[in-house]
Structure 1
Amino acid sequence: MDKVADFHNHIQWNPWQPKGAQSKPTITGTSKRPGHKYSWKDSKIGTGSLTLRDIDEKHIHFDLEFIKPIRTIARDNWLFEDWGIGETKVTWQNSGMLPYPIGRLMGFVIHKNLKRQFAEGLINLKKFCELYDGTIPVRHF
């Protein structure tokens, strides 16, 4: 959970960080506490912020706000379930609305791209956790 709830770690695995090489991230607040915030501003990936809203032993909830290129808000929710010795099942959910007409015209394409980016983020997170914790490396089949 620390790799997700602490934005100093979060920037090491999130799928959008490499796309915004020019981005100027700002991290404020206390790590792993409500109000901890990651903000970015970049000509390529836009402007927005991710703020930790709530955290407990199994869940992390974030408020996600995009300012540019499209103004919208969303929720990021994480569930961490113990799956045996040294294994954790991680579920990452995102929900939000796209403003009209963007949602109607581009919703399917945006959803398809986000699905791929979330999968990439979970793979990056797994690799980061394995490197950080010194566990068995990811095997590709």
Structure 2
Amino acid sequence: MKIVKKILIGIVVLIVLLLIVAIFIPADYTVTRMSTVNRPKQEVFDYVKSLKNQEQYSVWVMEDPKIQVTYTGVDGTVGSSSAWKSEKMGEGSQTITAVSSDKIEVDLNFIKPMADQAKASMIVDAVDANNSNITCTFYGHGAYPIGRLMSLIGKKFVGDAYEQNLVNIKKNLEK
């Protein structure tokens, strides 16, 4: 009986400790990754603003060959969207909310495995006539307490995926 009591006290102490740590983790977080592509700005921007092109570079889409993606609207324009269903990657959608000459912004709506919403953007800047920088940014929010604790893992997961996406974009465009 004493062992069970010690285990229960240990679990309560761990939960209280995690709740205290979560207080100090910011609710809002941002993940940004950047890369240079040896192609002109307009070519790079036209490629990344197309939701359909994510099939060629997004690790999340490429992870599951059986993923079902549906597209609505005119790709690369405000209001166009893609929705996905996948055993591996869950279910959700993204909608383009803004497009300018160098930036695309999307709203993300995650349904499964966990309901959540976030925003993301991609900015393409010219370095010179034949080279461009791409900056990918993810804006997340973690509700107290679980969301804040999970944001620590989420930032690493998103950052790693963005880095690979940028490698794939570079490879695809520099062929």
Q: What TM-score range do you get, normalising by the shorter chain?
A: 0.7 to 0.9
Instruction: Indicate the residue corresponding to 1:24 in structure 2.
Output: 68
Q: Deviations over 1:32-88 (max 9, x none)?
A: 211111110112110001111110111111111101111111111111111012100
Instruction: Indicate the residue corresponding to 1:68 in structure 2.
Output: 112
Q: Structure 1 residue 121 and structure 2 residue 165: aligned?
A: yes
**In 2, distance between residues paired with 1:109 and 1:8?**
28
Partner-residue secondary structure (3-state), 1:114: helix
Distance change (3 Å), C-alpha of 1:98 and 1:68 = farther
Q: Structure 1 residue 107 and structure 2 residue 154: aligned?
A: no
| Counterpart mapping for 1:25-104 below 5 A | 25-104=69-148
Per the TM alignment, residue 117 of structure 1 is displaced from its structure 2 partner at its CA by 0.8
**In 2, distance between residues paired with 1:118 and 1:112?**
10
Q: Structure 1 residue 5 and structure 2 residue 45: aligned?
A: no
Normalising by structure 2, report the TM-score. 0.70
Report which structure shows greater RCO (CA 8 Å, sep ≥6).
Answer: 2
**Aligned pairs, how many?**
131
Q: Which runs of 5+ in 2 are unaligned?
A: 1-44
Q: Is the 8 A contact 1:72 1:98 kept in 2?
A: no
Rg larger for = 2
**In 2, distance between residues paired with 1:129 and 1:54?**
23
Identity %: 30
Q: Which runs of 5+ in 1 are unaligned?
A: 132-141
Task: Please tell me the root mean square deviation across aligned C-alpha atoms, in Å.
Answer: 1.4
Runs of 4 or more, structure 1, over 3 Å off, are 98-102
Higher helix share: 2
* 1:56 maps to amino acid: S
Normalising by structure 1, report the TM-score. 0.86
